[in-house]
Structure 1
């Protein structure tokens, strides 16, 4: 069964205000998420923050089951973290890298992750190596297999979907290779969870980071971390508090044995509740239906853009997602974004400083990212707003 688009748009107040094609930045929230967050804020304002958390304990716990159900994990393998970057950091910095350990990544890596690689490489003597692309622009599985066969690899880390291109990296195939060689696999899924079917068992990743604000349609300032149960005790979080560990006076402590060892006690409680509601909302619609709708709209937009004079679509990959990047001849991407905004259409501009190792990335481009609540009329509005 497909998605009831009219109902989805009725559930989304922002659809009455703007054609929002910046879902890879932050999607429009649906009413159930808005009400969950606002309702908890109201409760905090009337009975107190600690008391509201006690009363909302069941809703807080539902976050773990909702996220776990969405990505094929167990609730004890999920931790709530304030954003995807911090979730990724908590996993990456928990790995006990040693002198000579190899970290393999891809050319489309996000610059924030690349910075972390370099910091660890400098501090611990690890080596960062970029696996070449295949002809489609995704990570080359043959090249990855060759590098793994050489030995010494501590971690394979890559993005599922990069921030500046519509390609989808072959995560499940990467996971298979990592399992064959007994190598840890960290997947940055901040752009994929909520628009693609993501199953951590099928992918075979050991760790996965995600965000609330993008395709899950959750609140900003929310994220999550998945850590496979079998390895969680091998990872020491880079910092601990009285939630992630238990103090044993006078000089000892015991770290939790589940993924909540990566959490902190203080948190955005209303956001955690809202993110759980967002995950449940997506699951109720059906992630397969969402993926079909999003990828179909994205291809429809690429077709329209390719037919527009002077417009070049930049997306690579044999499989492509809801991010559509393009340039318009003789026009700065920021000017194209401004023209779209004047027409009531939200898009964004990719920033070259955010691109880690990609030798073929454009200095800047327009990024239009669709979601299931968008319509073909909204795609036409964007194309009509483009300068010729």
Structure 2
């Protein structure tokens, strides 16, 4: 047997599962749906059929190059699916069981993991740089944000999935994979918003509207939603905002008027740009807390003077994945969904299949809609 034949036989054995996926081959170019071959399930792995996957702004940041990602890649990380195969060492999941997929998989051994910050795991996102599939030409394919859910199926470690109770809807569960846990967690875990406080949220995508819901759950009395798209005002009020303010030249004046001239106690930037971070900072009261939830570019610098940092005595912090241990907090989110305290359905403003992914990203870039849910496994049935 020739070396080439041996290599082909090895690849056939190791990458055996064909699946359709939306593949990003170059930054800034549309994704095309094609057939790839997933790696074989190893002892600690799970193969999952993707039932519903949300299109997140982080996917847009990967597609346009704001965030680095080896290519070609299958993006998508906010998803719920059904287990179709388990490795020999996976004994607590069964075929047919629904699961939420996680884009951060804590190793439980590194410094952050052993010091109460598993969301900052040093190894939690390493799989995004590890090939998990091959193209039809034999090129390695990488899973965007470790999951690769813009596909009919994916393969992930057991630690990257959370079982879904039978009474939780699949579409609701998909949103719990990123947007909702990130937004609500930013309120409850990162900023720890207090009852009766005032809250300001800039950027009303899926994460921003989840922050609004988190502020309502935390008992904030004044919840101000800010966005450039005034069409989002009604939706913002529905999920928890007490006021909507357009992101224009009068934003600062309007927010001051709603907070007795002080600015808000707690502010959240869910856009991730130097401009909106500075806006958030200036709309935070003296001694208040400002939290950056949106993911910005590494070259988009934010400046503060030494005097203002001293004088305003504000707290400025970042927030990764809502600062939550998803496996530990998910039962609480399930309870909130059951009771209706979390309005997950209202976040979904569009539906489609794999071929609709580029349109969904265009809508995000234009600031339209909140969340598009794709159903890749259903599209080919």
Provide the TM-score with structure 1 as the length reference: 0.28
| Structure with a larger share of its residues in helix | 1
- Quick one: higher RCO (CA 8 Å, sep 6+), 1 or 2? 1
Which of the two has greater strand per residue? 2
Q: TM-score, normalised by structure 2?
A: 0.29
